[in-house]
Amino acid sequence: MTLPKLETAARVGDQAFDALHAAISNGDYPAGRRLQIRNVAHELGISVMPVREAIKRLEEMGLVETQPYRGAVVKDFTPTELLHIYAVRRVLEVEAAAQGTKNLTREDFQHLDDLYAGLRRAVEDNQVIDYLDQDEMVLTTVYSAAGNPVLIEMIRTLWGRCRHYKIVGARDELDLGNAVHLLEHQERLIQAVKLGDSAAAARITAESIDAASARIRQALPRNR
């Protein structure tokens, strides 16, 4: 994957960060890929300084790490590290689902229905990245209604850290013909929030994250 040339403008470092973050999030830059500063700068058509700044920000987010003799690489999380991420996600997202359910409006319900339709289309078209984007928008709609922007920021940061695993997991489900598994939790969550059932929304969220954690325990060790 070749990065697009950037327009010369103010805050080139932000543009470099956005370009690299997008490449990591959509799987074009997989875990373990080296981020050679001069090569990245050449691809983007900018100097090395904004690239250094962008890589430093990605490292602070936990998406990039510096390795001996290799320099900056896209971070590849071990199964244990992923399980730690999912454990924290469970705490935060269960709370966000419970609190958000109390404040959703009819307009939010319509938006969730539209997003779920997009989820189904993405699954039918085997578009994994579109599916994950729609999935995160469904959850963001529910969680944001909790009214705590710090909570949402922390959750989204954790999503970014486990994005590679989520891509692999969704692709595996599609390859195995288990598309229904990619939709069942979202459908149940939307039904629960429409009923204003905070306890059910929290339970469904916990079940979804627990299922992902179980898949990590079963699948990742075999692949390493």
In order, the DSSP letters of 162-196 are THHHHHHHHHHHHHTT-GGGGTHHHHHHHHHHHTT
Rounded to an integer, what distance in angstroms lies between the CA atom of residue 23 and that of residue 25?
A: 6
Rounded to an integer, what distance in angstroms lies between the CA atom of residue 208 and that of residue 184?
A: 9
DSSP label at residue 80: H
pLDDT at 223: 44
pLDDT in tens, the chain (224 residues): 667 666 555 588 889 988 998 888 888 888 889 999 999 999 999 999 999 999 999 998 888 988 887 888 998 888 889 999 999 999 999 999 999 999 999 999 999 999 999 999 999 999 999 999 999 999 999 999 999 999 999 999 999 988 888 888 888 888 888 888 899 999 999 999 999 999 999 999 999 999 999 888 876 544 44
19 Cβ contact list (under 8 Å, min separation 6): 3, 4, 6, 44, 54
One-letter identity of residue 37: I
User: Does residue 24 contact residue 163 with C-beta atoms inside 8 Å?
Assistant: yes
User: Does residue 41 contact residue 78 with C-beta atoms inside 8 Å?
Assistant: no
Q: Where does residue 62 fall: left (phi above 0), alpha (psi -120 to 50 degrees), or beta otherwise? A: left
User: Does residue 37 contact residue 55 with C-beta atoms inside 8 Å?
Assistant: yes
User: Does residue 163 contact residue 29 with C-beta atoms inside 8 Å?
Assistant: no
- Reported as half-sphere exposure (CB side, CA atoms, 13 A), residue 73 has a value of 14
User: Does residue 199 contact residue 129 with C-beta atoms inside 8 Å?
Assistant: no
pLDDT at 168: 84
pLDDT at 216: 83
pLDDT at 7: 59
Domains along the chain with CATH numbers:
12-74 (1.10.10.10), 79-223 (1.20.120.530)
Dmax (CA) for the chain in angstroms is: 55
pLDDT at 175: 85
Number of residues in the chain: 224
